[in-house]
Amino acid sequence: MAQRHGENPWKHLCVSVVFCASVVSSLFWAAPSLQAVNTERLTSFEIELLHHALETLHPMITEKQQDGSAILLAWEALYEPLTGQQRVFLDEFRALRAAELGATSHYFGEPMTAPTILPVGRQTIRRPQGEREETILNPQYLPRPALEAYGRMMDAMELDLGRRLLVESGYRSPAYQLYLFLHYLPNHDYSIVETNRFVALPGHSEHGNPARQAIDFINEDGINGEDRPEEFEALPEYQWLARHAQGFGFAISYPRNNAYHTAFEPWHWHYCSSSC
């Protein structure tokens, strides 16, 4: 689920991302302690705290989204503008595990080494009739094996269909994944359990796991299925993936009636160079 912003020239140099194993403990911040966050629905106090945290983070995140660095967000950068109480609040989310929310999704943990990722390149959505400007997608990055496999797969799709799928969201750091989870909480009535069906918690997302790298696809006409999954499922591009993606190392992560209690996401596929 990527926000779209203005063009930013992508660099040919690979980007090495260094992650911290953890953020300084909440005791260090000498902040007021919170009880475990309410997972069924945030309390009124927690909702207020959430909105204040999002308002504080908004300028920094928007700037990073525009220059393409949001997906590489480090924990220190996420926590830096927050108050001590807000940092403790985020720690409560980081401590959650999907199994506690009635889900069975994998827990991958956070990468302990710095994955080498490469830019996907400039991507544009076709200009709708009557529009004067193209829509340019935010810069995206993928680990080299996933990027090369994606390129081979799209070349084959274009030969067969004359169409390609674009990368709307590739690699995402665990810190940015947490921001997205918080950002989408209001859309699901402030329920952590319900939000978890649509947005993974950090450590559970394939987008942050280079060994099982996820790609959220969008087609060249701007169809991503986010609001209507059936719209993406009906695309010739999706039908092609269903028949051929496995041959390129890709598999759909959340098919209909999946065992993870996660919503059907026909646009979300992951790459494995070997069985995973």
Q: What is the CATH number of the domain that holds 95?
A: 3.30.1380.10
Residue 138 contacts residue 68 (beta carbons within 8 Å): yes
Position 108 in a domain? yes
Residue 17 pLDDT class (50, 70, 90 cuts): very low
Read off the pLDDT of each residue in 241-252 and give the average, rounded to a whole number: 97
Of residues 78 and 17, which shows the higher confidence score? 78
Structural domain that includes position 50? 30-127+137-276
Position 268 in a domain? yes
Position 106 in a domain? yes
The amino acid at 2: A
Position 12 in a domain? no
Residue 172 contacts residue 199 (beta carbons within 8 Å): no
With 60 as the cut, is the pLDDT of residue 9 above it? no
With 70 as the cut, is the pLDDT of residue 55 above it? yes
With 60 as the cut, is the pLDDT of residue 169 above it? yes
Read off the pLDDT of each residue in 260-272 and give the average, rounded to a whole number: 90
Position 161 in a domain? yes
Q: How many CA atoms lie within 13 A of 146 on its CB side?
A: 31
With 50 as the cut, is the pLDDT of residue 245 above it? yes
- Report CA-CA distances (Å) from 153 to 90, 101, 136, 220, 230: 38, 35, 22, 15, 23
* H-only helix segments in 204-250: 229-233, 236-244
Q: How many CA atoms lie within 13 A of 258 on its CB side?
A: 19
Question: How many separate domains does the chain show?
Answer: 1
Residue 66 pLDDT class (50, 70, 90 cuts): confident
The amino acid at 113: T
Q: Dump pLDDT digits (tens) for 177-226.
A: 999 999 999 999 999 999 988 898 998 899 999 999 999 999 999 999 98
Position 6 in a domain? no
Strand 265-271, strand 116-119: pairing: unpaired
Position 197 in a domain? yes
Distinct helix (H) and strand (E) counts, the chain? 8, 9
| pTM across the whole model | 0.79
Position 9 in a domain? no
